Structure 1
Amino acid sequence: MMSTLSTHVLDATTGTPAAGVHVALAGADGSVLGTGRTDDDGRIRALTDEPLPPGTYTLTFGTGDWFAERDIVPFYPEVVVTFRISVAGNHFHVPLLLSPFAYSTYRGS
């Protein structure tokens, strides 16, 4: 069995979805497995067409470019979240709460 992955980005300063954030998914070796941009609801429902086996992965959120499009200079030019899938067959959801000077993430459902 393999696992699936989704993400959701919220702009914590406005309380709205962060539409148009570029996100890249990479494996432990750095190879890019999928990319996308968040939709109008701030979501990417699947970053890859293929399910993911257990392993370590990285999500890189292009926060600097997203804020620059809004004429905001953020402290973090990108947010990198490294996580581990240890049990196959589960769905993993990695939300990002974002502001120009802080971010928070957790394992969602």
Structure 2
Amino acid sequence: MAAASGSSPLTTHVLNTADGVPAARMALSLHRLDSKLMIWNMLSVGTTNEDGRCPELISWQTFTAGMYKLRFETGSYWESLGQTSFHPYVEVVFTISDPVQKFHLPLLMTRFSYSTYRGS
């Protein structure tokens, strides 16, 4: 069972595909939708490490079924490199129906585009 492991059930990896490097030092936040009030509640904030990863976004205890979003501060990242970008931020909204599984959400980006997918 995946929940027995100590790592976060949700991980991300941000890659600057324009330069072929991890997107280090990018701010991001994780939110869950309150389905009754229809508002987003912030669960955690973080910054990607030198490998473009942000470990420990959420614990297994607080990872429940529902709708989530990861917000990546892409504009600030590109500004820190002295460049401009089309997207000031990227929000990826996704639904978790089985919180016992492990989920990986990569973000592949350039200054003018991005792509994401559900990994494992």
TM-score (normalizing by structure 2) = 0.85
**In the alignment, structure 1 residue 9 sits paired with structure 2 residue 14:** yes
If each structure's strand is expressed as a fraction of its own residues, which one has the higher value? 1
Q: What is the CA-CA distance between 1:40 and the residue it aligns to? A: 0.5
Give structure 1 stretches of 5+ with no counterpart. none
Name the counterpart of 1:103. 114
Corresponding residue number in structure 2 for 1:32: 42
Work out the CA distance in 2 between the residues paired with 1:38 and 1:103: 17
The aligned residue for residue 68 of structure 1 is 79
- Residue of structure 1 in register with 2:36 after alignment: none
- Count of residues paired in the alignment: 109
Using the size of structure 1 for normalisation, the TM-score is 0.93
**1:89 aligned residue:** 100
Larger radius of gyration: 2
Give the corresponding residue for 2:53.
43
Displacement after TM superposition at 1:88 (Å): 2.3
Runs (4 or more) in structure 1 with deviation over 2 Å come to 48-51
Cα displacement (A) at 1:37: 0.3
Cα deviation code 1:4-62 (max 9, x no counterpart):
11100000001110000111000113111011000010001221244410100010000
Q: Alpha carbon RMSD of aligned pairs, Å?
A: 1.6
Counterpart contact for 1:4–1:51, Cα < 8 Å: no
Percent identity of the aligned residues?
41
